[in-house]
Amino acid sequence: MTGTERQRLAVVGQGYVGLPLTMRALEVGLDVVGFDVDEARVDRLRRGLTYIDDVTDADVAAALATGRFTPTTDPADLAGFDVAVVTVPTPLRDGAPDLTYVESAASMIGPHVTTGCCVVLESTTYPGTTEDVFVPLLEAAGPLRAGRDYRVGYSPERIDPSNPVWDLRTTPKIVSGIDELSTKAVTDFYAGLVDRVVPVSGTREAELAKLLENTFRHVNIALVNELAIMCHGLGIDVWSVIDAAATKPFGFMPFRPGPGVGGHCLPIDPSYLSWQVRRSLNQNFRFIETANDINDHMPDYVVARAGENLNRRCRSIRDSSVLLVGLAYKRNSGDARQSPALAVARRLAGLGARLRAVDPLVDPALVPAGVSLVEGTADEVASADLVIVLTDHDVLPWDLLERHADRVLDTRNRLRAEGTDRL
C-alpha cells in the first residue's frame, strides 16, 4: 500500500461493538466494509438507519455520504482488506462458550488474507481462543501462515452503551498479538482510532484481562445484592450503608444493588472463565458460581418483594395491575439484552399479574408477551396497584411516581418520597 492509498478495513459484525468501530474508522479516513449476516440489519444501514444507542441515523447517513462505507452480507466483499476486525457474539450454550460465530468469521476471512495484512479478534472469549481456535481456521484456507506472512492479534472490546464520558475513542484499548510483529501491527492500527493503546504480553493475557474486568463487576454487584437482601431482613437501609462506606477515600469502591444484571457482558462473560477452570483444572471458580447464583435470582427476589408489598394491602400478585418502569438493562439506554427487568416481567406474568410498562427507549418488539407498553401518564400511575422501578432512565416521569410513592417498589433508589418501598 502506497502512502496515497487509504487503508481498507473489514469489520465482521455490525452490532453494539462493530458499528461504533466502523463509524470511528470512517471518521479517521479509512475505507470500511461493514459485514453482517443479518440482512435486515444491513438493509437498515444501507438506508441510513441505525439500531443501536451510540450511533445515530445522522451518523450512518454521513458514513454513507463519504462513499467509503460498504454495508454488506456478501463475504466476497471482504477481499482486499488491510485490517480485518471480528466483533461477533460469543453466547453461552448450556453453560459453555459457543464460538460458532467466531469460527464462521475466521473461515470467511481466511480465503482473503494476504501477505502483510492484519486480523484482530475483539469478541469476548476464554484464554487461548485466538491462538488455538481462531488462527488455525484462518490458516486452513491457504498456504499463508499467521505470524510469518500476516499478523494476528486480540483486542477486547470495552463498549459501554450510552456512556456519556467513555466511548470507543476515549476508553484505553488493550492490544495484543501472537508475536512481536503482530502486537506492533495491532497497536499501530488502534493508535489511529483511540486516545490510548495498552499493549500486553500476549493474547491469552488480553483475553483474560477482559474476563477479569467483568468478573470484578459481577462479583461486587452480587455482594451488594446479597447485602440488600440481608439489610431488608434486618430493617437497615442498604443505600445509606453504601453511601456511608463510599466516603472512605481508599480501599473501597461503591457498587449499587438492583434487580439483577444484564447486557452483553455480565450475565455471560464471567462464565467463560468459570467454564475454562472446570475444563482445564477440574476445579470450580467459587466466586463466579456464587455471584451467578445471587445475581440470577435477583428477579425472583424482586417478585417476592412485590408480593410482600401487595400483601400488606391485602392483595395478591394474581390479577393485580403492575406498572413496570423501565425495561432496559441500564439507565438511559434502549439496550434490553439479558435485561433483568424482562426476567421480572416474565415471572410476574407467570403469576397472573396484569402488566403494563413504561420505557420510551426500548424497541417495542423487545417487550415480552403479556406486557402492554404505555406512556407514563398520571392515569397509568394512579391506576396501578403497584409500580416497580426497574430502570431509572432520566426521561421517565419521576414527579408522578413521587406522588404515588406508597405504591412503589424502587429497585434503583431513584425516589425520595417517604413512602417508597426500596430494594
Query: What is the CATH architecture of 218-422?
Result: 3-Layer(aba) Sandwich (3.40)
Chosen CATH of 8-201 out of 3.30.360.10, 3.40.50.10470, 3.40.640.10, 3.40.50.720: 3.40.50.720
Mean pLDDT along residues 327-348: 94
Q: Give the model's pLDDT for residue 5.
A: 75
Residue-wise DSSP of 323-364: EEE--SSSTT----TT-HHHHHHHHHHHTT-EEEEE-TTS-G
Listed residue (401, 362, 414, 389) closest to 259, CA to CA: 389
Please give the C-alpha separations between residue 378 and each of 270, 340, 341, 420, in angstroms, as whole numbers. Answer: 41, 26, 22, 17
Cell triple for 231: 439489610
In angstroms, rounded to a whole number, what is the distance separating the alpha carbons of residues 328 and 325? Answer: 10
**CB 219 within 8 Å of CB 291:** yes
Q: How far is CA 188 from the centre of its chain?
A: 26
Question: What is the 8-class DSSP label of residue 242?
Answer: H
Mean pLDDT along residues 365-370: 89
In angstroms, rounded to a whole number, what is the distance separating the alpha carbons of residues 184 and 176? Answer: 8
Question: Is the pLDDT reported for residue 62 higher than 70?
Answer: yes
Please give the C-alpha separations between residue 101 and each of 123, 163, 338, in angstroms, as whole numbers. Answer: 10, 27, 19
Listed residue (271, 254, 147) closest to 211, CA to CA: 271
- Residue 283 or 228, more confident: 228
Report the predicted TM-score, pTM, of the whole model to 2 decimal places.
0.91
Annotated domain spans of the chain: 8-201, 218-422
Q: Give the model's pLDDT for residue 406.
A: 84
Q: What is the pLDDT of residues 290-306, one digit of tens each?
A: 999 999 999 999 999 99
pLDDT band at 1 (very low <50, low <70, confident <90, very high): very low
Mean pLDDT along residues 351-377: 94
- Catalytic pick from 117, 118, 231, 265? 265
Amino acid found at 372: S
pLDDT band at 381 (very low <50, low <70, confident <90, very high): very high
Lateral strand order in the sheet of 83-86: 69-72, 31-35, 8-12, 83-86, 118-121, 151-154, 173-177, 197-199
Mean pLDDT along residues 199-221: 96
Q: Give the model's pLDDT for residue 93.
A: 87
Listed residue (172, 237, 234) closest to 209, CA to CA: 172
Question: Is the pLDDT reported for residue 387 higher than 80?
Answer: yes
Q: Give the model's pLDDT for residue 116.
A: 98
**CB 262 within 8 Å of CB 338:** yes
Length of the chain: 423
Q: Give the model's pLDDT for residue 38.
A: 97
pLDDT band at 274 (very low <50, low <70, confident <90, very high): confident
Q: Give the model's pLDDT for residue 4.
A: 54
Mean pLDDT along residues 91-115: 94
Q: Give the model's pLDDT for residue 45.
A: 98
265 in active site: yes
Question: Is the pLDDT reported for residue 272 higher than 90?
Answer: no
Question: Is the pLDDT reported for residue 2 higher than 60?
Answer: no
**CB 407 within 8 Å of CB 385:** yes
Least confident window among 282-286, 346-350, 395-399: 282-286
* Burial bucket for residue 190 (CB in 10 Å: 0-12, 13-18, 19+): buried
- What is the overall mean pLDDT for the chain? 94
Question: Is the pLDDT reported for residue 18 higher than 60?
Answer: yes
Q: How many C-beta atoms surround the C-beta of residue 24 within 10 A?
A: 17
Mean pLDDT along residues 304-317: 96
Mean pLDDT along residues 113-138: 97
